[in-house]
């Protein structure tokens, strides 16, 4: 049995509106896990600034985005009484542990990170150091709470593997000191990613080979959690599909990324498996399926925007949630950071 108490941590960047990919890939598991685990969900504002101020938009934009994403968390169903909801920058230990991990992680490990390559593009020399270091800060976000489980979308799998490598190397590098300080064989857990459900990688509605993303210039590529019922329905009806109909078995979706994406979205929203959806709609045309999907998506998503607006009418409430969450998160993070300092030999008074 593990020496670590099960604890869940995950986060989303306040870099724009949350979208269906964030909701189906991560949020549904977050909501589910708050019923069974100790859960911490942060708005990762220190990650949001990694692409440079011209991309994140400056202080007014950032502040609004942090409050909007917090409101979206609550509107989606996170309960501040059940989960610790906070913003990363209010718990300074994330950044302190990231510095320690910068000295544990190897350049070769970071050089393999595909998200950096995608985001930096061809002009790597002009990317910020923070963008390159993003996965190290993410490891610190997780391990400062000794989190054992991290529910994320498929795109974060590689970063989670890096987190495991960093934890393993820290445990090994300081094994003697860790044991001498009474922590047994390991100080940090080897965190498990939780990548579950029929929509762990939601694709763009305009191109089934590209991930649905906040930064796609086409608003038609994604469903934002702030979209009106009309916009949700319109985007689904305009979603790209191929000329064939709905297959009767999952094998018939192979090589048809747009079809696979829409069926996966339906399954995740309906809380069904893909086979179940195909048993109902297989043999039919996409036009009819899109109508059913639009109806389901409006039913599930439109109330979220309404609830967000209601919450944002009282920003004082949203700020109070973040303050309370940050206080509770700090109470866990500070003693862990103190132990890290002691393990490494820093003088702790
Ligand atoms: N398309 C997706 N399908 C499934 N899961 C997804 N996630 C993001 N996009 C999809 C999951 O949502 C959580 C929070 O993601 P994030 O806020 O850290 O940002 P991101 O992955 O960088 O999201 P975007 O939309 O792609 O932002 P930009 O465009 O700014 O890069 C994570 O668990 C992620 O896996």
Give the atom of ligand 1 at the shortest distance from the alpha carbon of 212: 1
Active site residue 146: no
286-325 per-residue burial string, b: 16 or more CB within 10 A, e: under 16: beebbebbbeebbebbbebbebbeebbeeeeebeebbeeb
Give the atom of ligand 1 at the shortest distance from the alpha carbon of 213: 25
Going from the Cα of 8 to the center of ligand 1, the distance in angstroms, rounded, reads: 18
Give the atom of ligand 1 at the shortest distance from the alpha carbon of 15: 30
Active site residue 117: no
Task: Find the catalytic residue in 64, 214, 240, 342.
Answer: 214
Active site residue 81: no
Q: Who contacts 266 (Cβ-Cβ below 8 Å, separation ≥6)?
A: 272, 277, 281, 289, 292, 293, 296
Going from the Cα of 44 to the center of ligand 1, the distance in angstroms, rounded, reads: 12
CA distances from 189 to 90, 148, 169, 193 (A): 24, 6, 11, 12
Nearest C-alpha to atom 16 of ligand 1 is from which residue? 12
Per-residue pLDDT of the chain (349 residues; tens, 9 = 90+): 678 999 999 999 999 889 999 999 999 999 999 999 999 999 999 999 999 999 899 999 999 999 999 999 999 999 999 999 999 999 999 999 999 999 999 999 999 999 999 999 988 999 999 999 999 999 999 999 999 999 999 999 999 999 999 999 999 999 999 999 999 999 999 999 999 999 999 999 999 999 999 989 999 999 999 999 999 999 999 999 999 999 999 999 999 999 999 999 999 999 999 999 999 999 999 999 999 999 999 999 999 999 999 999 999 999 999 999 999 999 999 999 999 999 999 999 9
Probe ligand 1: pick from 153, 195, 218, max atoms within 8 Å of CB?
Answer: 153
pLDDT at position 1: 62
21 pocket-lining for ligand 1 (C-beta < 6 Å): yes
211 pocket-lining for ligand 1 (C-beta < 6 Å): yes
Going from the Cα of 45 to the center of ligand 1, the distance in angstroms, rounded, reads: 14
At residue 239, the 3 state secondary structure works out as coil
Going from the Cα of 3 to the center of ligand 1, the distance in angstroms, rounded, reads: 31
Task: Find the catalytic residue in 64, 82, 119, 342.
Answer: 119
Going from the Cα of 280 to the center of ligand 1, the distance in angstroms, rounded, reads: 30
d(CA 311, CA 256): 40
d(CA 14, CA 68): 8
Task: Note if the pTM is more than 0.75.
Answer: yes
Probe ligand 1: pick from 8, 18, 25, max atoms within 8 Å of CB?
Answer: 25
């Amino acid at each position: 049995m593990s020496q670590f108490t099960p604890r869940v941590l995950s986060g989303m960047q306040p870099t724009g509106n949350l979208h269906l990919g964030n909701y189906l890939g991560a949020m549904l598991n977050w909501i589910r896990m708050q019923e069974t685990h100790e859960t911490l969900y942060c708005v990762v504002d220190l990650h949001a600034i990694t692409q440079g101020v011209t991309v994140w938009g400056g202080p007014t934009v950032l502040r609004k985005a942090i409050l909007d994403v917090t409101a979206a968390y609550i509107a989606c169903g996170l309960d501040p009484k059940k989960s610790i909801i906070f913003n990363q920058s209010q718990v300074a230990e994330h950044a302190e542990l990231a510095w320690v991990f910068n000295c544990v992680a190897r350049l070769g490990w970071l050089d393999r990170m595909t998200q950096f390559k995608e985001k930096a593009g061809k002009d790597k020399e002009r990317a910020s150091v923070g963008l390159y270091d993003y996965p190290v800060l993410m490891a610190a976000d997780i391990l400062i709470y000794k989190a054992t489980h991290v529910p994320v979308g498929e795109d974060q799998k590689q970063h989670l593997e890096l987190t495991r490598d960093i934890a393993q190397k820290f445990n090994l590098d300081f094994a003697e000191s860790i044991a001498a300080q009474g922590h047994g064989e390991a100080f940090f857990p080897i965190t498990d990613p939780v990548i579950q459900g029929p929509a762990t990688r939601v694709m763009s509605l305009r191109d089934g080979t590209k991930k649905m993303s906040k930064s796609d210039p086409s608003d038609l590529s994604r469903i934002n959690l702030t979209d009106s019922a009309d916009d949700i329905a319109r985007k689904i009806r305009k979603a790209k599909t191929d000329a064939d109909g709905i297959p009767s078995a999952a094998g018939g979706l192979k090589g048809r990324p747009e079809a696979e994406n829409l069926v996966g979205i339906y399954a995740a929203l309906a809380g069904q498996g893909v086979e179940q959806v195909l048993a109902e709609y297989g043999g039919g045309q996409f036009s009819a399926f899109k109508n059913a999907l639009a109806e389901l998506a409006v039913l599930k998503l439109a109330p979220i925007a309404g609830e967000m607006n209601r919450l944002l009418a009282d920003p004082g409430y949203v700020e109070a949630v973040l303050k309370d969450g940050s206080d509770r998160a700090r109470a866990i993070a500070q003693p862990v950071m103190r132990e890290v300092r002691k393990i490494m030999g820093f003088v702790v008074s």
